[in-house]
Amino acid sequence: GQQVMQIPQYQHVQEGEDFTTYCNSSTTLSNIQWYKQRPGGHPVFLIQLVKSGEVKKQKRLTFQFGEAKKNSSLHITATQTTDVGTYFCAGRDTDKLIFGTGTRLQVFP
């Protein structure tokens, strides 16, 4: 079945540094979604990318969908302590949404 891997598994950064997580699927995706889960919380939907090569921005967050629609990335510029949490990508396999392994971000003030 479809597998969605994310790297790195963990990332510790100093506040103000940039952060990037990468998502790779074993199959071509119709779309990709990104979620953030704060410690002790539940995943919260951030964004969905649909088109090949698509780039979307949300303030300090930049999301990119690969040309082959098999990979994606999330880049955070100048991290803040409020960015702490686990970031998941999720790709749609037919009708079910398969979540990536997640990248846990820790930001030190």
Partner 1 sequence: KAGVTQTPRYLIKTRGQQVTLSCSPISGHRSVSWYQQTPGQGLQFLFEYFSETQRNKGNFPGRFSGRQFSNSRSEMNVSTLELGDSALYLCASSPPQGQLGNYGYTFGSGTRLTVV
Q: Is 22 in the site for partner 1 (CB under 8 A)?
A: no
> Is residue 39 within 8 Å of residue 85, measured between CB atoms?
yes
- Scanning 14-22, 59-67, 68-76, 94-102 for contacts with partner 1 by CB under 8 A, the matching segment is 94-102
Q: Could you tell me the smallest distance in angstroms from the CB atom of residue 46 to partner 1?
A: 8
Q: Which of 20, 24, 62, 101 binds partner 1 (CB under 8 A)?
A: 101
SS (H, E, C) the chain: CCCEEEECCEEEEECCCCEEEEEEECCCCCCEEEEEECCCCCCEEEEEECCCCCEEEECCEEEEECCCCCEEEEEECCCCHHHCEEEEEEEEECCEEEECCCEEEEEEC
Q: Is 45 in the site for partner 1 (CB under 8 A)?
A: yes
Binders of partner 1 in range 74-93 (CB under 8 A): 88, 90
Instruction: Give me 45's structure tokens.
Output: 């939907």
Q: Which of 79, 85, 100, 107 binds partner 1 (CB under 8 A)?
A: 100
Q: Which of 39, 42, 59, 82 binds partner 1 (CB under 8 A)?
A: 42
- CB of 44 or CB of 78, closer to partner 1: 44
